[in-house]
């Protein structure tokens, strides 16, 4: 069985949730800027803001979407409002990932202290699990080698896990 796709900050559902947080501020800005009359349809305006954010990789280009299609001025207040949606995407991603973990009953197939073989893209390497983020099914690993690196990876990237030999305990020398 394949694991369903993990939500990311740039997935449609996350972007739509971020856009929803700025609909009213954009409506207020547009009304004050004379770009919008007070009878604008709620669902249509919501869709307009959502499409601008979905179609754009950043706040400035989302503003340019409004300018290109609706003739709205791209000014600092509009860019600031749009930027707040883009800044929220990473935080919103965490909520979507947690819901995804719960819905699909995703479990981490390794424990702290175990060795793991990890495959990310074409790279495959071994590491030690040094922590777990169960809420998001992410694993904190430390790579094995002369210069170990710590990274947080999705649990789906773990190919194999095994118990490592216990590390020798450091003993204190008796001062006597």
Q: Which of 105, 93, 9, 16 is nearest to 54 (CA)?
A: 16
Average pLDDT of the residues of the chain: 90
- The pLDDT of 30-51, averaged and rounded, is 83
> Given strand 123-133, what is the order of strands in its sheet?
150-154, 138-143, 123-133, 115-120, 158-162
Residue pLDDT, tens place only, 91-131:
999 999 999 999 999 999 999 999 999 999 999 999 999 99
> Where does the pLDDT of residue 60 fall: very low under 50, low under 70, confident under 90, or very high at 90 and above?
very high
**Spatial distance between the Cα atoms of 167 and 144, rounded to a whole number of angstroms:** 14
> Where does the pLDDT of residue 164 fall: very low under 50, low under 70, confident under 90, or very high at 90 and above?
confident
pLDDT over 90, % of the chain = 78
Q: Is the pLDDT of residue 39 over 60?
A: no
> Where does the pLDDT of residue 136 fall: very low under 50, low under 70, confident under 90, or very high at 90 and above?
very high
pTM: 0.77
**Spatial distance between the Cα atoms of 32 and 153, rounded to a whole number of angstroms:** 45
């Amino acid at each position: 069985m394949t694991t369903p796709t993990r939500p990311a900050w740039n997935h449609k559902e996350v972007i739509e949730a971020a856009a929803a947080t700025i609909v009213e501020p954009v409506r207020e800005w547009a009304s004050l800027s004379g770009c919008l009359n007070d009878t604008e349809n709620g669902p249509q305006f919501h869709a307009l803001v959502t499409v601008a954010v979905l179609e754009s990789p950043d706040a400035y280009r989302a503003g340019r979407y409004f300018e290109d299609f609706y003739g709205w001025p791209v000014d600092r207040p509009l860019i600031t409002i749009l930027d707040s949606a883009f800044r929220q995407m990473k935080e919103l991603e965490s909520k979507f990932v947690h819901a995804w973990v719960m819905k699909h009953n995703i479990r981490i197939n390794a424990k702290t202290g175990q060795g793991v073989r990890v495959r990310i893209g074409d790279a495959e390497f071994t590491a030690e699990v040094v922590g777990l983020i169960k809420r998001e099914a992410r694993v904190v690993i430390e790579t094995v080698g002369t210069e170990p690196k710590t990274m947080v990876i999705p649990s789906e990237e773990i190919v194999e896990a095994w118990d490592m030999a216990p590390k020798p305990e450091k003993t204190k020398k008796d001062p006597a």
